[in-house]
Amino acid sequence: MLGIVIRFLLGGGAVVASTIVSRKIGTKIGGIFAAFPAVFLAALLTLRLDAKGNELVEKSIVLSQGAVVGMFINIMCAMAVVYLCAKQGWKRGLTQSLAGWFLVSMVYAFISKYF
C-alpha cells in the first residue's frame, strides 16, 4: 500500500507542479516540468520495498535501462504531437501520436522479452 501512496503523491505532485508552472511562467516551461519522470522516481523509491542488497541494485539497473528507452519513445511521441497537431489538428494529431507511442512501446516490449 505504501508503494501506491508514494506513486500517487509523486505523480500527482508532478502534474500539479507542471500546471502551476505553466500558468505562472508559461506553457513551454510548464511542458519541461510535465516531462519530469515522476513514475520513474516513484518506481525506484518503491523498488526498495521489494528488494534489498544486490537484488535491489540489479533491479534498479534493469528499471533504469527500461526508463532510458521509455523516455526516448516519449520524446519521439512529443515530437510527433507537435508535427501532427500542426498538420492535422489537435484531436487527430494527438490520437495518431499516442497510437504510435503505444505501437512502438508494444513492439519494443515484445522484442526485449523474446529476443
Residue 74 burial (10 A CB sphere; 0-12, 13-18, 19+) = middle
Enter the pTM of the model: 0.71
Q: How far apart are CA 111 and CA 26, in angstroms?
A: 39
100 compared with 10, residue with greater pLDDT: 100
Over residues 50-84, the pLDDT tens digits come to 889 999 999 999 889 888 988 899 899 999 999 99
